Structure 1
Amino acid sequence: MERSGCGCGSAGTVPTAGAAGARSRCSRAGRAGEIPFHRGVVGSVPRSRAKKKLLAELVRWRKEAGLTQEEAAAVKFYDKSPATLSNLEAGKTRIRSGDVHNLLNGYRQTGRAPELTPEVIDDLVQLAHEIAKAPRGWFEPLLGPGTAPVFRELLAYEAEAAVMQSWQPTLVPGLLQTEAYARALMKASPLLHEPEEIERQVKIRIERQSVLDRKRGAPQLRVVLWEAALRPVIGGPAVMRDQLERLREASERYNVTVQLLPFSAGAHPVLNGGEFQVFTFADPTDQVVYSENHTEAVHREMRDEVEQFTRLIEDVRSLAESVSATRDRIAEFAAVL
């Protein structure tokens, strides 16, 4: 499963649903600042984001109606098992507009959700229909059925973001890793043993990098690395030398910025924290923070939390070396290997 830093790239593998370490927590935004629901929303909002918001609405209206999952699963016209509804709300099954229609009308009939008007229901049903028609992520064919939703969400963030800001204290970000470096990380993982699975994970990691090569709509990647990320000789001197050269070359791309925070900077605002990423989508007010530790991945969408992490990465960037100075330092590291 993906461990700390898996998103933009530390030692890790694709997590499977239910496995230890693949847990996900999500701190969601309140009504203010959320993506509004209206017809055509998928045309301006990434598919994964629209789906996530729709599922949040289904949960919200069920709770407004005062129903447990067991009670909601038995509402008129829907009448499916609680497990089926649980999987739907968790995003583990395909969203069908008919199910959305039946559930919401069932909730409305309780009389406890007066704001759930026929117009609201129609818009949410239309949204479900548009989500079903929207193109699926490039990564779906590479992932197994047991892949945890948290990892699918991460890949969707990478594919749909306009700007990705990343603080990486221990490893080169996954979107900038060489194949040999990634393979060395995978082989070091205590969760991977079979060569075939290691190669599958390496393939996924390298395929993820294609988002930076898009001719239209390629995202901006802005990385701040702590010096500790470049000191370990991962895979041996030759592998690490190639990785450093790849990192230096990537920093010359128009859509990639790499800055180094040296040890000499001393104490800094994120010294006690792990890696994190701030994803900003086409609507600059639509943002999510993704962070990980050894046991769980956390998605933060509440505006005050997003702003806090954005300030953190801006503060650490202000302490980091310039882009040109960073290239020089990377070359120095490579020269001694």
Structure 2
Amino acid sequence: MNVSNTGSTLPRRQLGRYLRDLRQQVGLTLDEAARLIERSASSLQRLETGHAERIRLLDVRELCTMYNADETTTAGVIGLAQQASVKSWWHRYGDLIPKDFDVYLGLEAAARQLTSYTPDVVLGLLQTPAYASVLVRGTYPNDADDEIDQRLGLKRKRQGLITRKRQPAQLNVVLLESILHRVVGGPKVMATQLRHLADMSTLPNVDLRILPLRAGIPLGQPAGLFTIIDFAVDDHGERVEPSVVYLENLTGSLYLEHNDDVRSYYESYQAIHHIALDEFASRNLIRQVAREYAS
């Protein structure tokens, strides 16, 4: 079965990322992998860069087998290939792509800047192990301890995106003040989490603001969690990939690529950012609430 190259480019780019990472993990060159599936290196390169005119599901399956991909990863990669022709990409958990296959992970790993409004819980990239553990166990109550540990390990690995020494990603985030007072795991966990937030806010690549409850509803209606993902620029200052808006809820995720949608979310973030506390007042408030939990 072939999948045409029309519609959203995002599933194709994600498919390419996962196939490239899987190939590199087993130590195969582009030429070697292409020869094993009897395709040209240029064809495989187009597949890995999201530029394939046609995507053959047979090739994708063969590559997953050759790369020793596990069952979940294989199902997720094939699901991405099947969604390569959709016009706007709504990824529903369990619909072609397994819930445990983290589609967002590939986008986040390639990001140079993440801009997020977070109204309910601390953004995952800024969570402490204890805080994250409470949330993960609540989300996956039937998972065994080793499965929980794997999920937490992945989250810690993802946090390296903003703490690594070489080219850390820029993180811009506004947290709603209620996050500071919503107790996750008890006072000790909260005190540690808020001290960590304050410390992270001192990093040169982190702009962290608190939107106070007294600010009301700056957009005129409540806004849920959203993250705008920007990628690297080339030598001419052009983005190597278009920006993406990521929206998540309990049953799935929506990815927006249209320029007007991305612009609208940037304008919304700027409106929220404008009315939020500045970085110093935000840090002082976080530390004040942390002291209250510790007392």
**TM-score by shorter chain over 0.5:** yes
SS state of the match for residue 168, structure 2?
Answer: coil
In structure 2, the residue matched to 1:218 is: 168
Aligned partner of 1:146 in structure 2 is 72
Contact 1:96 1:128 in 2 (8 A): no
Distance 2:105 2:228 in 1: 14
Q: What is the correspondence of 1:241-256 to structure 2 with a 5 Å cutoff?
A: 241-256=191-206
Structure 2 Cα separation of the partners of residues 211 and 194 of structure 1: 27
- Distance between the aligned counterparts of 2:14 and 2:165, measured in 1? 23
Q: Which runs of 5+ in 1 are unaligned?
A: 1-26, 35-46, 55-94, 103-121, 132-140
Q: Which runs of 5+ in 2 are unaligned?
A: 1-6, 20-32, 51-66, 78-90, 92-100
Question: What is the letter of the counterpart of residue 46 of structure 2?
Answer: L
C-alpha deviations, 1:5-50, integer Å up to 9, x for none?
Answer: xxxxxxxxxxxxxxxxxxxxxx837xxxx9xxxxxxxxxxxx9558
Q: How does 1:57-206 map to 2 (within 5 A)?
A: 126-128=45-47, 145-147=71-73, 148=76, 151-206=101-156
SS at match of 1:166: strand
* Structure 1 residues 244 and 266, CA gap change in structure 2 (3 angstroms): same
User: Separation in 2 of the partners of 1:333 and 1:289?
Assistant: 31
The answer to whether 1:299 aligns with 2:255 is: yes
Q: RMSD value over aligned CA atoms?
A: 3.2
Report percent identity of matched pairs: 31
CA contact (8 A) 1:97 1:126 kept: no
SS of aligned partner of 2:255: strand
Is the counterpart of residue 264 in structure 1 residue 209 in structure 2?
Answer: no
Q: Please report how far the alpha carbon of residue 100 of structure 1 lies from its aligned counterpart in structure 2 after TM superposition.
A: 10
Residue 270 and residue 201 in structure 1: after superposition, are their counterparts in 2 closer, same or farther (change >3 A)? farther
CA distance in 2, matches of 1:266, 1:128: 47
Structure 2 CA distance for partners of 1:192 and 1:48, relative to 1, 3 Å: farther
How far has the Cα of 1:272 moved from its partner?
2.4
Aligned pair count reads 225
Structure 1 residue 28 corresponds to structure 2 residue 8: yes
Q: 1:315 aligns with which of 259, 262, 271?
A: 271
**Change beyond 3 A, Cα 1:179–1:101:** same
Distance of aligned partners of 1:237 and 1:101 in 2 relative to their CA distance in 1, 3 Å threshold: same
One-letter amino acid of the counterpart of residue 145, structure 1: E
Alignment partners' CA distance in 2, 1:250 and 1:97: 47
Give me the whole-angstrom Cα distance separating, in 2, the residues matched to 1:252 and 1:48. Answer: 34
**Structure with bigger gyration radius:** 1
Distance 1:97 1:162, change over 3 A: farther
Q: 1:181: Cα distance to partner?
A: 0.5
Structure 1 residues 190-199 or 245-254, which shifts more? 190-199
1:28–1:302 CA contact under 8 A, matched in 2? no
Aligned to 1:287: 243
Which 4+ stretches in 1 moved above 3 angstroms? 47-50, 95-102, 122-126, 128-131, 147-153, 190-193
C-alpha distance in 2 between matches for 1:270 and 1:328: 27
Distance (whole Å) between structure 2 residues aligned to residue 263 and residue 152 of structure 1 = 33
Answer whether contact 2:201 2:283 (CA < 8 A) is retained: yes
> Which SS does the other structure have where 1:259 is aligned?
strand
3-state SS of 1:221 partner: strand
Deviation at 1:252, TM superposition (A): 0.1
Deviation at 1:271, TM superposition (A): 4.4
